[in-house]
Every structure is written in structure tokens, then in C-alpha cells.
Structure 1
Amino acid sequence: MAMLAIVPIMIATCIVLLFRFINQKYNPPIFGIYTRRNKYFWFKFVFMYVFLRAKQLYVHLKGLLAVELGNSYDGTKHIHEDDVALEQKHSLGDYSQSVDAVYFNGTAKDGVALVCGVARRPQFYCDAFMYVKVNGEDLLLSPELPDTRIKQTTLQEGHYKAGSICLTNLIPMRNWKVSYNGDMKYKNNPEKSVKVEMDLTWSAHWQAFKYDTDMSPLSMAKDMAREKWSADYFNVLKKFHQTHYEQMGFLTGKIVVDGKDHLINMPCVRDHSFGKHREWRNFHRYVLQFIYLENGDAMAIGAVSQPLMLSHVTIGYLCRNSDQAVLPVKGCDFQLWQHGENQIMPKNYGFTFKAGGKRYDVSIKVNDEDFFYIGKTREAKIYERWATAEVNGVRGWGCLEWQYNNVPAAMTQ
């Protein structure tokens, strides 16, 4: 009898909850760009989490099986043939927005730094640039900056070469060569140029973090569940998909500036991206933070906004020195709309993130910065910002990359 008395209460409660669900107020996007949770969020989150977790498990088991059957490159999972294929130069095909890009970003505790990239684009053009900072010198810039669009010479075609920059893979997922031989200009005196030569070797210290398979399903499912789903939406995700992976290591060698030798040994991240469509007009903005700590840890934490696909997605990973683990970020309170939405970028700020079951508190202090443009009509504006950092009381340093959509400005030029 007691159970029967509860039934009407349960029915009434369900009706009230259903009514509240049906009439739940719609939360409009922040600034008209960043979508928020709405009434179907939790249904979409559960579905997407299960899907992404199953996909991740499938890829993991497939890799283990390849090693077990002797199909890997040398019998170990982390350098089997799939990884070798990732490292090769990729065909741009007949796609007008295709891309095959390599990028390096290294910073030392004493302020020595290097940031460079070569993005191969159709018709033998490249988006390419180089920043170098050595002791006793002003920040040095490749001569084309702030523009980055460079036409390759006949000998450079098909390679990660543009202007005086040359990036060469030596051993897949192991070593790259970073070379430069030409003039560079000073940030604070751009009319003055100086001869720069470099012969550097990048060596891996951790395994690569592959964004297709290694991102946290929990974090990714939350970000995707905020978006409006439709057949067209998933078609757009498929169309604009790019393969992207990053790997932490060290950059060593010699840089010669105006005849003076500078020995280099610093932590450095490198990445590789390729795909059929990279349209900078689709990027509203992003922030990437590469941080290196005195205890040997390294991390890449950030957020990307492409409203056509994901208006706010948290990305990143932690490289833990104690056990060489590479751990995905499972949550971060860094929100793009709270930091520099109108290109008034904070010099001092902080955020927290979770990785490996632990919370990390990060504080950032920016010391120097410069900017450049990407695209034929300067569709994107990117700031490289060098900073000191502190993570859970451990001191560190790094480079922050802040990108903004520059299409309105480009249309007036």
C-alpha cells in the first residue's frame, strides 16, 4: 500500500520534470559565437562520450595487435608503419585549401627562443616564418615578416623549404633538422639586417600526442555536446578534418649571428598538420600555451574556436618527466571569451587544468611579443608571446600563441 501511495507522487514529479525540460530556456551563444549548454546537452554528451571512448579503445587495440602480429615498423608500438606514414610529406592534391605544415616552438629558461614553421600550400606557395632570440641580441625576424606567404623556388618545391628556412625529417618520430642560411632583421630596428646561419637538430623526448586518437573523450564530448547537431554539421566536421599531432623534445646545435656562435640546447615542441582544407577564415581565434618547467615537465594547453565546427574546444596534454607519460587534458577553465576577445591581451593571467587525475594551477606573465599574418590576404593575425610561468609552485617558461580572425581587416586592404 505504501508503494501505491508513492506512485502518484512519482508520476507528478515526472510530469513536472518533463514540463521543465520542454520549456527550458534557450541559452544563446556568448558574444554570438561561443555556444552554451542547452536542454539536449546531457543526451548528446553521453552519446558522444561512448562513441569517442569506443573509437579510442579500437585504435589502441589495433595498435597492440599490429605489434603482436609483427606488423609494426620494428616490433614496438610507437614507431610502427602508421607513424612512419604520418611523418612523410603529404600530397596537396587538387584542393585549393590543402595544407601540409611543420612547426617548431622552443624556449629556454634564459630567454633563448626559436619559433618557425613551413606550411606547404597549393601552387608551390608556403606560409613560412622564423623567429630567433639568442643571448645578447634583439629578437630576430625572417625578412618577410609580418607577412608569411612565400613562393618556393623550383628546387624547394615538394619540401618544407621556403626562403632561407629548411626543415627536414631525419628519422620518423625521432629527429628533425632545422636549418637557416640568410638574412634576418631586428624587431626594434627592422631596417637593419644581419646574417644568420643555423644547424639545429630536434630530438624527441616523449612520444607523439595525436589529436585524432589521444584527446580526452570526456573533454571532447562536452565541447561537442554544446553544438547544434545536424547532418550538415557532421558533414562539415568531416570536410574540414585535419590530421594533427605534436611531440615534445629538445632542440640542440649552433646558431651563428653576424659571425658569432651561439650554442643552443632547449626544450622544443614540434607539430605536423595536413589535410584537404585549411581555411583561416573559419578560425575565430585560438590560444596555445607551450610551457616548460624546472622539474622537467612540459605541457601544451589551449582552446580553439571555429564556430562552423566547434565554437570552443579545449585541447592539450601534459608530458610528465617522472615516468615519461603523455597525459591528455581532461578539463580546463581557460575560456576564450574571458581572455582578450577584443585583442586586448592580458599580460598576467592564470587558469587551472586537470590531467592524470591531478589539478594544476597555472600563472602566466608575458615578457615580450610580436605578431605576423597568415594567408594571401592576411586572413589571420597571430601573436607569439614569450612568458614566464608557475605551475603548482614550480617555476617555468614558455611561448604562447594567440590567433585572431583578421578577415574584416583583410577586406579593407
Structure 2
Amino acid sequence: MEFPRKLVYNPQAIDSVSFMASDKKRYFLATYLGRRYNGVVDGFIYLNIPEIGLLESLKLPDTILFQDNKEKSLRSFGAEGLHHTPLQPLKRWKISYDGKMRVRGNTKDIVHVHLDAIWTSRLPFYDVNRDTDTMLLAKIFAKEPWNDDFFGIVKDFHLTHFEQHGNITGQAVVNGEIFQLKMNSLKSRKHGILKWKHMHRYVTHFMHFQDGTSISVGMISTPVTFSSKEYGFITTANGELYPITYSSLKLHELGEAGTPPKDYSFSIKAGGRTYHIQVEVFKCAEFYAGWQWEARIVECMAKFTFNGNPGWGGVEWHYRHTGRRPLSIASMDPEKKIAGEESGAGWGPPSEAPSVQAGED
């Protein structure tokens, strides 16, 4: 389940892996690669080096990448210099990037970055569909109207999703200067059907604490299936995993107007223990996802505390975006790439691929 998988036969099919990592010195990495049909990839990389600033891939805020023929034939997680390579299932991945990046806030400050890092873990993984607490899942279903249409949609838009805490070690070479990396990390792996238009909002937190505890917790609002769905887990310092059984997060109370909060708190319960979590965001960047920019995503670096225990990590906020991918950007796409508003992706199985060019109305 770790290696690249054959895409399901649906225009919205995706096979993705992402990593978020941080340390107490405020080094930070967020990188994502999602394979679609026709060699199209959702992808980006952010790398914060305190001595330099927040580096971002040059295409941002756009996240549409294109594979070469070798990457397509190998079904690899890779495009345009960014690669995620599984080495040992659930234990080791290689994360690499070789190319130009921009110092955020200064469009003229372009640097060359060579990133070579290894993600490792000996910890158990959390399957969102299998391991979510039974009573919590029952409450999620109880909020929705039960009928044949509802259960049919839930089945049709199934997305396998599992997460795992681990560590990243390696180095980043920026214009010849070497920076050593040693960060705590969350890996997220998804396979199935993902249509950005269906999502109203989501938030996800990755947190690692001084006592060795790691926490992943979030909430998603996808009106066609679940109006609000909580999920998450903790991994203790001795490697025990506990799904959350309660979360006080209320998505509609946090940044519903479009601006994520910078200072807030919530509580969760897991393993018979209550965690009172304080969040303080100190740096953010935003980008767009989807062939027609159907999603606006705000990626944030943050520090955390629970019950007085200090920690570090990141927060990712998603908002539904109703604008369009600018033609000035779409016109730079390689020739013969196809897209369509209603196919929703610009990536469908070949027999279903529409003929509208990216960026057209």
C-alpha cells in the first residue's frame, strides 16, 4: 500500500503521499505529490530555513506539475525535480528535490536547492477508515440524513487514507551552503477519488512535543458526504497509538470567513487522557490546488503546547475556491495536456478525457 498504485478508473482518481516536518529550531518542510491521469501531478514543496527564510517552489501558488515519460512509465511519485520514493513499506522513504526555489516575499530572490532526505519510522500507522474510534464514527454518521443516495455517494467517493508519525534526516544545499535537517514528521498516504470541488473546508494539525508525543488531528467538511468529520490519533513516546475519541474543534468557528486564526485552542481525548492544546501560528503561505484552482490552501508553521508541554509542527487549512486557474498560467502548460471543468481534473482515463484546454471557460 506504500508503493505507487494503479489509479482507479475515475476522472478524479488520485494516488498521493505528503510529508510535513518541523523541529524546535523552526526548520520546516511541507511537500506533496498526488499522481493523476495523463502524467499530471498535484505537487509543491515548502522549506523553511531560519537563516534564509521560507523557500517555495517557483510554480506556487499553482500546483499543477507534469511528469516526463520515464516518470509516467514508472508510475513514480515525482515531477519537475521533486520526488518521493518508497524504500521500505511503512519504514523508509526518500525525499528529494533539485531545482530553483524562491524566498517567499521576494520574487527576485531565487536560489538553487538540492534536498536529499530520508523519512524513517518504527511506529504504527493510523488508517482513517479502519482505526477511527467507533463511537466517534457513529456520531459522524448520525449527523447526516440516511438514505440510499447518501450511502451510495459515501461508497462511490471512497478514499483510502492513512497517516504515520516518523522522522526526517538529511541535508539541504542552498546555493552551495549546506544545512543539516533533523525533524519530526507526519506522512500522509491517500488513494482513491479526490474531487476538490466537493470539499467546503478542512483543517489538519501535525504536532510533536518535547516529551516525545506526536499528535495528528483534523476536521473536514465535505457536504456531499459528511458535513463534519473529525479524525486523528496520538503516538506516545513509547510508540503506542491511540485514536482520538473526542475533539472540541468546531470548524465553522475557526476562520470561516477565509482567514485562518493565529491563536486558538481546543481539546481532544485519546487513550483515556485529555489533551488541552494551544496553537500559536507564526508563518503562513497559501496556494491553489485543482486543475481549475478549486481549492485554496493555507500552509502554516506553528508552535503548540498541551498541558504545559511545548511542541512544534504545522497546520493546513483548506477553503473552497470559486475562481479559475489563470490563462496566463495555463498557457504555459505542455502541449496536448487536457482539462475540463466538469471532468474536474484535466486528468481522466484516456477514454473519458475531455477536449477543453486548460484555462478555457
Q: Would the TM-score normalized by the shorter structure come out above 0.5?
A: yes
The question of whether the paired residues in 2 share the 8 Å contact of 1:138 and 1:188 is answered with no
Match of residue 73 from structure 1: none
The question of whether the paired residues in 1 share the 8 Å contact of 2:246 and 2:269 is answered with yes
Match of 2:205 among 269, 289, 311: 289
**C-alpha separation in 2, matches of 1:191 and 1:144:** 14
CA separation of 1:308 and 1:93: change in aligned 2, threshold 3 A: closer
Matched, 1:145 2:60: yes
**SS of the residue aligned with 1:110?**
coil
Where structure 1 has 5 or more consecutive residues not aligned to the other structure, the ranges are 1-85
Match of residue 142 from structure 2: 225
1:119-165 residue CA offsets vs partner (Å, 9 max, x unmatched): 00111100000000113011000111000001111122111011110
Matched, 1:351 2:351: no
Match of residue 334 from structure 1: 249
1:357-376 residue CA offsets vs partner (Å, 9 max, x unmatched): 11110111110000111011
Matched, 1:161 2:78: yes
**C-alpha separation in 2, matches of 1:95 and 1:343:** 31
Match of residue 358 from structure 2: none
Letter of the 1:88 counterpart: F
**C-alpha separation in 1, matches of 2:105 and 2:325:** 28
Shift of 1:191: 2.6
Where structure 2 has 5 or more consecutive residues not aligned to the other structure, the ranges are 328-361
**C-alpha separation in 1, matches of 2:122 and 2:22:** 15
Match of 2:157 among 232, 237, 240: 240
Letter of the 1:137 counterpart: I
* Aligned positions, number: 325
1:256-309 residue CA offsets vs partner (Å, 9 max, x unmatched): 01100011111011111001x211000000000111101110000110000110
1:221-245 residue CA offsets vs partner (Å, 9 max, x unmatched): 1011010010110000000011010
**C-alpha separation in 2, matches of 1:365 and 1:135:** 18
Matched, 1:314 2:245: no
**C-alpha separation in 2, matches of 1:268 and 1:128:** 18
The question of whether the paired residues in 2 share the 8 Å contact of 1:205 and 1:250 is answered with no
Match of residue 207 from structure 1: 124
Match of 1:107 among 22, 30, 49: 22
RCO (CA 8 Å, sep 6+): is it higher in 1 or 2? Answer: 2
Match of residue 324 from structure 2: 410
**C-alpha separation in 2, matches of 1:266 and 1:272:** 19
Match of 2:12 among 83, 97, 108: 97
Match of residue 40 from structure 1: none
Structure 1 segments of 4 or more deviating over 4 A? none
Match of 1:265 among 160, 164, 182: 182
**C-alpha separation in 2, matches of 1:137 and 1:96:** 40
Q: Which shifted more, 168-177 or 129-138?
A: 129-138
Shift of 1:89: 1.1
Letter of the 1:347 counterpart: K
1:61-91 residue CA offsets vs partner (Å, 9 max, x unmatched): xxxxxxxxxxxxxxxxxxxxxxxxx112111
Could you tell me the percent identity over the aligned residues?
A: 31
1:349-394 residue CA offsets vs partner (Å, 9 max, x unmatched): 0000100011110111110000111011100011111111110110
Match of residue 113 from structure 2: 196
- Where does 1:54-73 land on structure 2 (aligned, <5 Å)? none
**SS of the residue aligned with 2:53?**
coil
Quick check: which one's strand share is greater? 2
**C-alpha separation in 1, matches of 2:27 and 2:102:** 17
Shift of 1:205: 3.6
Matched, 1:130 2:41: no
**C-alpha separation in 2, matches of 1:200 and 1:412:** 34
